[in-house]
Amino acid sequence: MTLKVGILGFGGLGQAAAKLLSAKQEMQLVVAADKEGFAYDRNGLNALDAIATYQSKGSLGHLETGHLTQDSIAEAIATAKDVDGYFLALPNLPNTFMASVAKQFIASGWKGVLVDAIKRTSAVEQMIALAPELEAAGITYMSGCGATPGLLTAAAAIAAQSFAEVHKVKITFGVGIANWNAYRATIREDIAHMSGYTVDMAMAMTDAEVEALLETTNGLITLENMEHADDIMLERMGICDRDRVTVGGVVDTRNPKKPLSTNMQLTGRTFEGKISTHIFTLGDETSMAANVCGPAFGYLKAGKQFHQRGIYGLMTAAEVMPAFVR
Ligand code: NAD
């Protein structure tokens, strides 16, 4: 059975997600939305056409199957009733935006699977608070299912199995992108983690201000002790307290080569009293897009299996094994 899939948000991650799906047999992209419009075709959208139109004309609404509208999410949900699940590749700006989109789905009466790749602890907490409403609405919501949180949090949950007590989880990411423009929300949200900045400040910055800031750092954003939901996702599973989890990294906005190898290191004590560290390192050739979109659809497929069994509500990447999408 081929799952009909939607993508909300058609920036860096949304476009990569569309490309990734075009090579899959088990999932078909039928609807996608950006800020200015959406396109829906029950027989499938062509990823390359969609990307070309978005890049040249600014919105999917200019496609033959498209509609230009300032209320694209609500209209896409109402139009594409046959969609099994959505990947929410939207910016979480302000920090309450994704929760407001989840509420829109709840209010619409649509039933299916939603997957996000949100990052902040406070953003995932908002989703956890919505769990009873999602459950009552017949929605299976998979939160924090990108790379970090996501793939690396899941790796920590697996690594923890060797230990009687987990002392420390340290996630360090390296991201290289040729141009910050390709991932504007990601970069703005990263700036919001820099000392002296907030989400509201980063959201309000003009493009010229972002460029001026990146000019002062030679295009690099170095982050430490970020507010990242990997902490509550692992705490929720009883793996360790949130204060034992740290996330940081380096983003190079001027070079597609990763400035460092993304890795997760989990240190713990085994039942025999030995202290040791498991390390999970991502291949340097794998892009942020590959490490976010791959897991997101793996969790969408897993979410669909729960949904078919009548299991609704909220789950995170730390509590479910992603399925593999062929
Ligand atoms: P982007 O800025 O490149 O694109 C955002 C897209 O969303 C655009 O197409 C825009 O038109 C659309 N959009 C904005 N507001 C909208 C609205 N109200 N209705 C409909 N569409 C709207 O974003 P990006 O860099 O691809 O990042 C997307 C998200 O993914 C960010 O929140 C980022 O933090 C997250 N992310 C997560 C991870 C992870 O590992 N968990 C990694 C990278 C990025």
**Average pLDDT by stretches of 10, the chain with 326 residues:** 96 98 98 98 98 98 98 97 97 96 98 98 98 98 98 98 98 96 94 94 95 96 96 98 98 96 98 98 97 98 98 98 98
**Ligand 1 contact via 50 beta carbon (within 6 Å):** no
Q: Give the residue from 113, 186, 150 showing the smallest Cα distance to 282.
A: 150
Task: For residue 265, give both structure tokens.
Answer: 């290191």
**Ligand 1 contact via 38 beta carbon (within 6 Å):** no
Test site for ligand 1: of 70, 97, 183, 199, most ligand atoms within 8 A of the Cβ: 183
| Per-domain residue ranges of the chain | 3-146+289-316, 151-284
Task: Give the three-state DSSP class for 253.
Answer: coil
| Non-local CB neighbours of 218 within 8 Å, separated by 6+ positions | 254
For residue 53, what are the CA distances in angstroms to 9, 63, 295? 14, 7, 26
Q: What is the pLDDT of residues 280-308, one digit of tens each?
A: 999 999 999 999 999 999 999 999 999 99
Decide: residue 250, CB within 10 A, 0-12 exposed, 13-18 middle, 19+ buried.
Answer: middle
Ligand 1 atom nearest 147 alpha carbon: 40
Determine contact, residues 86/8, Cβ cutoff 8 Å: yes
Asked about 193 being catalytic, the answer comes back as yes
Task: For residue 76, give both structure tokens.
Answer: 């896409």
Beta-bridge partner residues of 221: 251
Q: What is the pLDDT of residues 194-204, one digit of tens each?
A: 999 999 999 99
- CATH code at 3-146+289-316: 3.40.50.720
